[in-house]
């Protein structure tokens, strides 16, 4: 794993945006896996600036989001589809038809999940999957105990996740209890994974994911199995890493993975 430790959240967002921007320039038809949550917002803001000020085009890019709440229509202000529109899609030149977010209102969820996986296969797989991390160590909505071979499916949200995400809904009661999420196995098939983490409330999850054992209790630890996983952290999120000095030195020598 490549572990990049930067000063603050702003630097993490800019680093990730530059990384994604380089990929888009190299391969204008790149397939990006995208994430929601507070963490990638600064990255998306920088990507928007790169589009507006540097002419970076997303006209041929395809995107697949990690997850969506069950029971929220796409146009609900709290849906992840709305989040992506507000934070990114409405501000760049990507056609709406090239953006994919699971449908939280699907009537046949099993069939919808199968189709979502099929759509990913049909475009040749995801080139880069952007990820955040839950304070319980989850990626997407793969809560503790999720099979490390899991595929896109319905998942019940853990109490801690409901609590963490209540800030977006106003009250805990309004947070949907179920989500459709890409599985850990789906995520591991992306050619590259880029996980961002900022803030001290992620420090334990980050330590467990990078330096703990591979375990379904911390689904981000599955990235230890991925040959091209990069984790970009601010100082606060990296604060509990025992090998932080080693990662810094390795990064300076550019031998991260
Ligand atoms: C949700 C999302 C995850 C995200 C996590 C952390 O659970 N499903 O994909 O990584 O929140 O969000 P934040 O960046 O707001 O801490």
Query: pLDDT, tens digit, for every residue of 60-71?
Result: 999 999 999 999
Q: Residue 253 C-alpha to ligand 1 middle, in angstroms?
A: 31
For 54, half-sphere exposure in the C-beta direction (CA atoms, 13 angstrom radius) is: 13
| pTM of the predicted protein model | 0.97
Mean pLDDT of all residues belonging to the chain? 97
Q: How confident is the model at residue 257 (pLDDT cuts 50, 70, 90)?
A: low
d(C-alpha 66, C-alpha 36), whole Å: 8
Distance, in Å, from the CA atom of 77 to the CA atom of 73, rounded to the nearest integer, reads 9
Q: Does ligand 1 come within 6 angstroms of the Cβ of 161?
A: yes
Tokens of 84: 């992506």
Q: What is the pLDDT of residues 1-53, one digit of tens each?
A: 999 999 999 999 999 999 999 999 999 999 999 999 999 999 999 999 999 99
CB-ligand 1 contact for 134 (6 Å cutoff)? yes
34 within ligand 1 shell (Cβ under 6 A) = no
Known active-site residue 136: yes
Question: For the chain, what is the total number of helices (H) and then of strands (E)?
Answer: 8, 10
Q: Which residue in the list 68, 103, 117, 143 is annotated as catalytic?
A: 143
Q: Which of 74, 47, 71, 73 is nearest to 61 (CA)?
A: 47
φ and ψ of 3, to 5 deg: -115, 115
- Quote the ligand 1 centre to 184 CA distance (angstroms): 15
Report in angstroms the alpha-carbon separations of 222 from 141, 187, 211, 217: 14, 9, 12, 10
What helix, strand, coil percent values describe the chain, rounded to 5?
40, 20, 40
Two tokens at 256? 């991260």
The overall longest dimension of the chain from CA atoms, in Å, is 51
70 lines ligand 1 (CB under 6 A): no
Q: What per-residue confidence (pLDDT) applies to 254?
A: 81
The reported pLDDT for the residue numbered 256 is 55
Q: Residues 201-250: pLDDT tens digits?
A: 999 999 999 999 999 999 999 999 999 999 999 999 999 999 999 999 99
How confident is the model over 90-134, as pLDDT tens digits?
A: 999 999 999 999 999 999 999 999 999 999 999 999 999 999 999
Q: Tell whether the model's pLDDT for residue 76 goes beyond 60.
A: yes
Does ligand 1 have an atom closer than 6 angstroms to the CB of 9? no
Please give the pLDDT value at position 49: 98
User: If you measure from the C-alpha of residue 103 to the centroid of ligand 1, how many angstroms do you get, rounded to a whole number?
Assistant: 18
Task: Please identify which residue in the block is written with the tokens 């319980």.
Answer: 136
Strand partners, 129: 33, 193
> Is-contact 84 101, C-beta < 8 A?
yes
pLDDT (0 to 100) of residue 32: 98
Question: Which protein residue has the closest C-alpha to ligand 1 atom 3?
Answer: 140
């Amino acid at each position: 794993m490549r572990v990049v430790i930067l000063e603050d959240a702003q630097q993490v967002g800019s680093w990730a945006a530059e990384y994604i921007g380089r990929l888009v320039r190299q391969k204008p038809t790149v397939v990006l896996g995208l994430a929601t949550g507070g963490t990638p917002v600064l990255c998306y803001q920088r990507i928007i600036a790169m589009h507006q000020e540097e002419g970076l085009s997303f006209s041929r890019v395809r995107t697949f989001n990690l997850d969506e709440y069950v029971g929220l229509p796409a146009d609900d202000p709290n849906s992840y589809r709305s989040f992506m529109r507000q934070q990114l899609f409405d501000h760049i030149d990507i056609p709406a038809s090239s953006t994919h977010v699971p449908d939280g209102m699907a009537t046949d969820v099993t069939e919808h999940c199968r189709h979502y996986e099929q759509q990913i296969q049909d475009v040749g797989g995801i080139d880069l999957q952007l990820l955040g991390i839950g304070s319980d160590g989850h990626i997407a909505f793969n809560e503790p105990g999720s099979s490390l071979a899991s595929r896109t499916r319905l998942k019940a949200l853990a109490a801690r996740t409901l609590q963490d995400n209540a800030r977006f809904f106003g009250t805990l009661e309004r947070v949907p209890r179920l989500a459709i999420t890409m599985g850990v196995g789906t995520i591991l098939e992306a050619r590259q994974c880029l996980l961002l983490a900022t803030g001290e409330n992620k420090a334990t999850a980050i330590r467990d994911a990078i330096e703990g054992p591979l375990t379904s209790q911390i689904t981000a630890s599955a990235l230890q199995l991925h040959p091209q996983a990069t984790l970009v952290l601010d100082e606060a999120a990296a604060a509990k890493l025992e090998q932080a000095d080693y990662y810094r030195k390795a990064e300076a020598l550019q031998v991260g993975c």
